[in-house]
């Protein structure tokens, strides 16, 4: 199961839950009064001015102004309020469904052989960056339909190839189409990515109308009982860029006919929705670098309304400069796991599990920290947000094989590193930094009900994280993580 896991801070909406229906009565953006009511059962609640402002962001300036990239292999990262589909447009009804701590970038998609600024290309913002999955996936509803139709389908016996992909929080169903994808080289004036190119790769278009009807058997196999995420509102982004240190997707593929049959098919690895970084020009295809500022270094320090960072394609062959933590990773299980262990907590918490090393992943696609065995109280809902009475510092021991060929008699050499994370009650954050104004938190965490840790997006603030795929490095042979 891949890494994406976006959680919504429901407590931030107070007594409102998933069944909320918004009825909007909004004047034009140019001025005038704005009012809004929310119906839930027989009760009515008033939205704050901030919530009204959130709904109208997409008709004004929903994003912060992203800077131009410093190089053709550099793309902007942003943690903000998310794609416009989260918000009802004027005079419409729909959910407020945004989530915190989702790391987005921007890509440009073109038919094979064309390049921006061709009108047949489309730049798509709010593409989630996920170090826990493989492949580029775009929501069909986020694409211009005329551009979508110019992208050739990947077919077998005249039938489009449908791609099923399972994430930690749901499943997607799409059609593979061939495209030239441009990443990096973002121009703030034209708002187009026109740097590095991944030529002729398969892109999974989620919810593509070219898909045949999904059979009951295929849907059951694909979903595994989890919810579908075939819309921007449920997926949490306009698309996702899976950049785990693995080249091939290894998904499930089907051809579906009008009669309702969806047999499983096998396709060449080259046609899968593979990691597009491996298709970039030499020197930019050996990994990525995710760099986000520390929230405490910003003004004012602490949770932020938005944060801007960089995603660099390619890791210098001169070495991973400035990194002090190195973790080789084994992909045999399908997930690039290291190990982590709680050493102590300040103030001390009642222990709910004996301190022990558990498998852990560094996952930009998870929008919170998921920690096992903290002993902190947590909310009694599906998210299990940690809610300690006061902020807690969790001191960690992280360990993994040193990324080189050196071995001792018992196996790979293992190095241990100390680190720490902070945890503040989700309920406290919701009160002090009210939804929907703040989107970047480095201390939002949930209880892991199983013995594993996920060091999600909050862990990446204040770090330069290297995800190294291939090549020769002074630190050893990849794949490895370093920061």
Indicate the helix (H) or strand (E) that contains 273.
none
Report yes or no on whether pTM surpasses 0.85.
yes
Between the CA of residue 102 and those of 7, 144, 448, what are the distances in Å?
9, 24, 19
The pLDDT of residue 58: 54
d(CA 316, CA 287): 9
Question: What is the spatial distance between Cα 471 and Cα 483, in angstroms, rounded to a whole number?
Answer: 18
- pLDDT tens digit string along 187-227? 999 999 999 999 999 999 999 999 988 888 888 888 888 88
Calculate what percentage of the chain has a pLDDT beyond 90. 55
Average per-residue pLDDT for the chain: 82
In this predicted structure, the answer to whether residue 40 has a pLDDT above a threshold of 80 is: no
> Six-digit token pair at 150?
């110019």
Q: Which residue has the higher pLDDT, 98 or 231?
A: 231
Closest CA to 455 of 423, 431, 429: 423
CA atoms within 13 A on the CB side of 90: 11
**Residue 451 tokens, joined:** 């013995």
Mean pLDDT of 346-365: 85
Query: b vs e for 265-285, b when ≥16 Cβ sit within 10 Å of the residue's Cβ?
Result: eebeeebbbbbbbbbbeeebb
Task: For residue range 447-476, list pLDDT tens digits in order.
Answer: 998 999 999 999 999 999 999 987 667 766
3-state secondary structure of 141: helix
Vertex 85: Cα angle to 80 and 88 (nearest 5): 105
Locate the DSSP E strands across 132-251.
134-139, 155-156, 159-160, 162-167, 170-183, 186-187, 192-193, 196-206, 239-243
pLDDT above 50 (res 356): yes
Tell me if 125 sits within 8 A of 84, measured CB to CB: no
- DSSP letters for 444-467: -EEE-SSSEEEE-HHHHBTEEEEE
Question: How high is the pLDDT of residue 170?
Answer: 87
Intrachain domains 61-287 and 322-482 with the same fold: yes
What is the predicted pLDDT for the residue at 29?
Answer: 27
Give me the helices (H) in 39-109, please.
Answer: 49-55
Q: Which stretch of DSSP H or E encloses residue 426?
A: helix 426-432
pLDDT in tens, 295-327: 999 999 999 989 999 999 999 876 787 889 988
Six-digit token string for 346: 């300040």
Task: Please provide residue 482's backbone torsions phi and psi, each rounded to the nearest 5 degrees.
Answer: -150, 150
**What integer pLDDT is reported at residue 212 of this predicted model?**
81
CA distance 461 to 385: 20
CATH class given for the domain over 61-287: mainly beta
User: pLDDT, tens digit, for every residue of 254-302?
Assistant: 999 877 789 999 999 999 999 999 999 888 999 999 999 999 999 999 9
Q: What is the mean pLDDT of residues 328-337?
A: 74
Residue 31 tokens, joined: 């001025």
Bridge-based pairing state of the strands 170-183 and 103-110: antiparallel
Helix or strand run (H / E) with residue 432: helix 426-432
- Spell out where 115-156 has E strands: 122-130, 134-139, 155-156
pLDDT above 70 (res 39): no
Tell me, what DSSP letter sits at residue 57? G
One-letter-per-residue 3-state SS of 412-437: ECEEEEEEEEEECCHHHHHHHCCCCC
The DSSP call for residue 47 is P
CA distance 262 to 33: 52
28 exposure class (CB count in 10 Å sphere: 0-12, 13-18, 19+): exposed
Overall size of the chain counted in residues: 483
Give the distance from CA 440 to its chain's centroid.
14
Buried b (16+ CB within 10 A) or exposed e, 135-160: bbbbbbebbeeebbebbebbeeeebb
pLDDT > 80? residue 144: yes
CA 286 to chain centre: 20
Contact 12, 430 (CB under 8 A): yes
- Note the CATH number of domain 322-482: 2.40.70
DSSP-derived secondary structure for 156-171? ETTEEPEEEEEETTEE
Q: How many whole angstroms separate alpha carbon 250 and alpha carbon 3?
A: 15
The residue ranges of every structural domain in the chain are 61-287, 322-482
- CA separation for the pair 417, 402 (Å, rounded): 11
| Chain segment 156-193, per-residue pLDDT in tens | 988 999 999 988 888 999 999 999 999 999 999 999 99
Token pair for 50: 């901030």
If phi > 0 it is left, if psi is from -120 to 50 it is alpha, else beta; for residue 414 that is beta
Residue whose entry in the numeric block shows the structure tokens 């099923």: 164
pLDDT, residue 458, reads: 97
Tokens representing residue 299 in the block = 């003004």
Q: Which residues of 75-104 are buried (b: 16+ CB within 10 A; e: fewer)?
A: bbbbbbbbbbbbbbeeeeeebbbbbbbbbb
């Amino acid at each position: 199961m891949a890494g994406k896991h976006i959680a919504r801070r429901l407590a931030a909406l107070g007594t409102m839950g998933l069944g909320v229906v918004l009825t909007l009565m909004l004047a034009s953006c140019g001025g005038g009064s704005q009012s809004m009511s929310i119906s839930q059962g027989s009760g009515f609640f008033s939205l704050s001015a901030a919530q009204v402002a959130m709904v109208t962001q997409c008709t004004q300036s929903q994003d912060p102004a992203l800077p131009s990239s410093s190089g053709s292999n550099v793309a902007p990262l942003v943690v903000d309020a998310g794609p416009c589909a989260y918000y009802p447009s004027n005079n419409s009804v729909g959910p407020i469904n945004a989530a915190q701590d989702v790391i987005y970038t921007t890509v440009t998609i073109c038919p094979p052989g064309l390049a921006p600024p061709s009108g047949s290309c489309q730049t798509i913002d709010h593409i989630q960056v996920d170090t826990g999955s493989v492949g580029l996936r775009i929501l069909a509803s986020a694409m211009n339909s005329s551009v979508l139709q110019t992208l050739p389908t990947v077919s077998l016996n005249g039938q489009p190839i449908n791609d099923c992909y399972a994430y930690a929080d749901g499943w997607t169903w799409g059609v593979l189409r061939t495209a030239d994808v441009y990443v990096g080289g973002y121009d703030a004036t034209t708002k187009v990515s026109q740097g590095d190119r991944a030529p002729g790769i398969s892109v999974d278009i989620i919810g593509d109308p070219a898909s045949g009807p999904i059979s009951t058997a295929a849907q059951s196999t694909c979903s595994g009982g989890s919810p579908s995420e075939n819309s921007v509102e449920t997926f949490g982004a306009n698309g996702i860029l899976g950049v785990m240190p693995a080249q091939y997707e290894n998904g499930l593929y089907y051809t579906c006919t009008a009669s309702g049959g969806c047999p499983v098919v096998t396709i060449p690895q080259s046609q899968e929705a593979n990691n597009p970084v491996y298709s970039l020009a030499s020197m930019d295809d050996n990994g990525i670098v995710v760099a986000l500022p520390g929230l405490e270094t910003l003004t004012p320090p602490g949770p932020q309304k938005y944060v801007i960072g960089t995603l660099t394609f390619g890791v210098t062959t001169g070495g991973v400069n400035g990194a002090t933590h190195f973790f080789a990773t084994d992909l045999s299980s399908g997930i690039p796991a290291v190990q982590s262990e709680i050493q102590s907590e300040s103030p001390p918490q009642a222990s709910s599990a004996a301190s022990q090393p558990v498998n852990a992943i560094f996952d930009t696609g998870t929008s919170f920290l998921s920690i096992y065995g903290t002993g902190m109280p947590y909310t009694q809902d599906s998210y299990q947000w940690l809610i300690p009475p006061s902020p807690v510092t969790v001191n960690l021991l992280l360990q993994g094989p040193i990324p080189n060929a050196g071995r001792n008699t018992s196996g790979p050499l293992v190095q241990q590193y100390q680190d720490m994370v902070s945890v503040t009650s989700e309920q406290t954050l919701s009160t002090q930094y009210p939804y929907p104004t703040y989107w970047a938190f480095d201390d939002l965490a949930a209880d892991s009900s199983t013995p594993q840790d996920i060091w999600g997006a909050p862990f990446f603030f204040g770090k330069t994280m290297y995800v190294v795929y291939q090549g020769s490095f002074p630190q050893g042979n990849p794949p490895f993580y370093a920061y």
